[in-house]
Amino acid sequence: MINETFVASDPKGAYELAVEKYGASISLVSAKQIKYEDGVLRSEITVAVPLEVYEEVSLGGVIAKDDDEALLAEIFELKEQLNLMKDDMHKDLQEGNPVVSEVKALFMKKGISAYWLESMFKTLLSSEVLDDKKLLVSYLLEEIDEALTVKKEDLSTPKVMMLVGPTGVGKTTTIAKLAARYAYLLDRPYKVALINLDSFKVGAIEQLGHYAEIMQIEHFVVDDVDAFKETLEKLEGYDVVLVDTAGMSPYDTEKFVQTVEFVKTDSPREIEVSLLLSATVKYEDMEDIYQNFSFLNLSSMIISKFDETKHFGTLLNFMLLYNLPMSYFATGQEVPDDLLFADKEFLLEQFIGDIDEG
């Protein structure tokens, strides 16, 4: 194995550089934050690369022919010119059309990004829809509805579900709700077990253990990857294994390394990773959240604190930009009552009500 270090502004970015260069055959050695001479804090990820992969990537590259390079450069330049022409037409449209300007301002005020709105307007160049406010609003709502997806609840095969997310979004309570749903509230009782990886948050182990005791569900506390693998092997006969993790910020290198290793555990069952995101998420935090967790190959998103806001535009914007399917809505603190299967029509109704108020 050959060790190589990659540097980026955050751990995820450095890890992606390594994967981009060497593929999935790498293994994580270490990750740390270092302040460089310019005073900027950067993340260093060191990975181990199999010797044959290292030699192939470093020594086996094929140099493109001059003619091919010239052709590619010409095609790229033509595409750039076409994009510039389209952008100019789009800019003129926005500046000269009061309907577009008004609708754009309304949707942006409710949390939808200018980037997504402008991409929609570009598809309507020369369309009469741009001159009718009601038609334009309806068109945008239909596009939002089309873009939203829901991950179906499928328990036909045994699964391991890991919940990840920022600190304070309610992972432990949501896992308890899911456990109760699977064990008691569906067409048949499924055999459920809980694994707790959160040794950072004070009281996290006791809280999940309390729920497990009430529901008479197996509960395991795991400190390292080897113990996690052994526990999953013990639970091979269970229908659902729910895994609680520590809350994580984009700059928490220790938790980042641990979570990567847990997700990459060699398990007979694929580990489905769901991002738990609060309905009250701020627009400024969305990018950091995505940068922090997208490297985990997220399968779905669970929305918590649904009952703490009436404004869902920023949340919708997150799903529009990052194409994450929804799976559940957590609508309060009560276990197991305050958990609903995700419904995009219900979510859109809340957003449309907010638009009408605007």
Residue 227: which CATH number? 3.40.50.300
Residue by residue, DSSP assigns 319-349 as HHHH-PPEEEEE-SS-TTTSEEE--HHHHHH
Cβ atoms 250, 292 nearer than 8 A: yes
Are residues 174 and 295 part of one domain?
yes
Q: Give 232's contacts (C-beta < 8 A, 6+ positions apart).
A: 160, 195, 241, 265, 267, 268, 269
Q: Helices 98-109 and 133-147 meet at what angle, rounded to 10?
A: 40
Are residues 265 and 127 part of one domain?
no
Please, what is the Cα angle at 238 between 234 and 239, to 5 degrees?
150
Per-residue pLDDT, 65: 46
Report if residue 93 sits inside a domain: yes
3-state DSSP assignment of residue 190: coil
| Residue 193 tokens, joined | 């077990």
What is the rounded CA–CA span in Å between residue 162 and residue 293?
12
Report the domain count for the chain.
3
End-to-end CA distance of the chain: 59
The model's pTM is: 0.71
Report if residue 153 sits inside a domain: no
Report if residue 348 sits inside a domain: no
Helix (H) or strand (E) holding 119: helix 114-122
Largest CA distance in the chain: 71
Are residues 262 and 187 part of one domain?
yes
Q: Domain range spanning residue 135?
A: 66-147
Are residues 324 and 268 part of one domain?
yes
Are residues 277 and 322 part of one domain?
yes
Per-residue pLDDT, 305: 92
Report if residue 238 sits inside a domain: yes
Are residues 43 and 28 part of one domain?
yes
**pLDDT tens-place values along the chain, 358 residues long:** 788 888 887 777 788 888 888 887 787 777 666 766 666 767 788 888 888 888 778 665 444 445 555 655 666 666 665 555 555 555 555 556 889 999 999 999 999 998 899 889 888 877 889 899 999 999 999 999 999 999 999 999 999 999 998 888 989 999 999 999 999 999 999 999 999 987 655 566 788 888 899 999 999 998 888 899 999 999 999 999 999 988 776 566 666 667 777 887 777 788 899 999 999 988 888 878 887 787 788 899 999 998 898 889 999 999 998 889 999 999 988 888 899 999 999 899 988 887 776 5
Per-residue pLDDT, 322: 87
